[in-house]
Amino acid sequence: MSSRSAIVLACALHVLRPLARLLLRNGVAYPAFAVAMKKVFLDAAHDELRDSGKKPTDSAVSLMSGVHRRDVRNLGRLAEPAAAEVEGETPLNMASQVVARWLSQTDCLDDEGQPRPLPRSGDWPTFDALVTSVSSDVRPRAVLDELLRLGMAQEDDQQQVALLITGFVPRQGFAEMAQLMQDNLHDHLAAASLNLQGDHNYLEQSVFVDQLSDESTRRLHAVAAKAWRQAFKTVMTEAQARFDHDQQHTAPDLRMHRARFGSYFYAADKDDHPS
């Protein structure tokens, strides 16, 4: 194995350690993971061959991925067509868009920039009108029920809806929290991988400090959370403005790109036990 290959493999194995623990805690042992990884490597080989202008034959895919040709054929026949489907406006998708607009509309915020409770109906701003401003294809009640189910909002007896968090972070719903983790980590790793290859120069930075006490890590976490809230407001406001601009001025076939900006904080002791 070349030095470059060894470096990349060691890096990948270190990255996978937390994921391996997550898998084991949820009943996924190595054999099931190893079988599932064949499809991941086949998809990656298809992408690499296509991007390099080569035909993704069974032989070429097998040679690049290291997966036996028999598995290439069998897994290819079992490929799901769902990857080509466009995800519709489900209540969960709508919920994330409504939260984003709620946090970026100045008349939906108080003097400190925090989301104001909104009446269900009446003069703008209202919750129902906020949902309708995003899309009229999903009923506001369905979106509200989704936010309530995820522990992200509450409704009082006066039909006032309050947002409980300053971002789309479900407090309940394991599948939804897993989806959010999947999307965040995928894009973070994609950016870091492309930077390592020298293909791009995406923002991918962090602050590191060690030899701290437990109290200091807690205080640093609070500072990081405060910094994120400010960064979130700045980037979310611009993201909403660009989204609205493109909806009005850019043809649908040119609105093909997504962008994700995130932040994270982690603290652990010398044995990698979370603080």
**Each residue's pLDDT tens digit, 155-198:** 998 899 999 877 777 777 888 889 889 999 999 999 999 999 99
Residue 144 burial (10 A CB sphere; 0-12, 13-18, 19+): buried
Q: Domains of the chain by range and CATH?
A: 13-85 (no CATH), 91-163 (1.10.10)
List, as one string, the DSSP characters of 215-252.
Answer: HHHHHHHHHHHHHHHHHHHHHHHHHHHHHHHHHHHS-G
Q: How many CB atoms lie within 10 A of CB 259?
A: 8
The overall average pLDDT reported for the chain is 89
User: Which tokens go with 241?
Assistant: 């403005």
Q: How many CB atoms lie within 10 A of CB 60?
A: 16
Q: How far apart are CA 11 and CA 88, in angstroms?
A: 36
What per-residue confidence (pLDDT) applies to 27?
93
Tens digits of residue pLDDT in 33-91: 999 999 999 999 999 999 999 998 989 999 999 998 888 888 876 554 444 344 455 66
What per-residue confidence (pLDDT) applies to 184?
93
State the pLDDT confidence band at 229, using cuts at 50, 70 and 90: confident
Q: Residues 6 or more apart from 180 whose CB is under 8 A from it? A: 168, 169, 170
Answer yes or no: are the C-beta atoms of 130 and 161 closer than 8 Å. Answer: no
What per-residue confidence (pLDDT) applies to 181?
92
Residue found by looking up tokens 């209540």 in the block: 91
Mean pLDDT of 247-264: 94
Closest listed residue to residue 239, CA positions, set 231, 249, 229: 231
Residue found by looking up tokens 């930075």 in the block: 205
Rounded to the nearest 10 degrees, the angle between the axes of helix 127-134 and helix 140-149 is 110
Closest listed residue to residue 96, CA positions, set 264, 258, 274, 265: 258
Of 7 and 87, more confident: 7
What per-residue confidence (pLDDT) applies to 78?
53
Closest listed residue to residue 164, CA positions, set 142, 183, 144, 181: 144
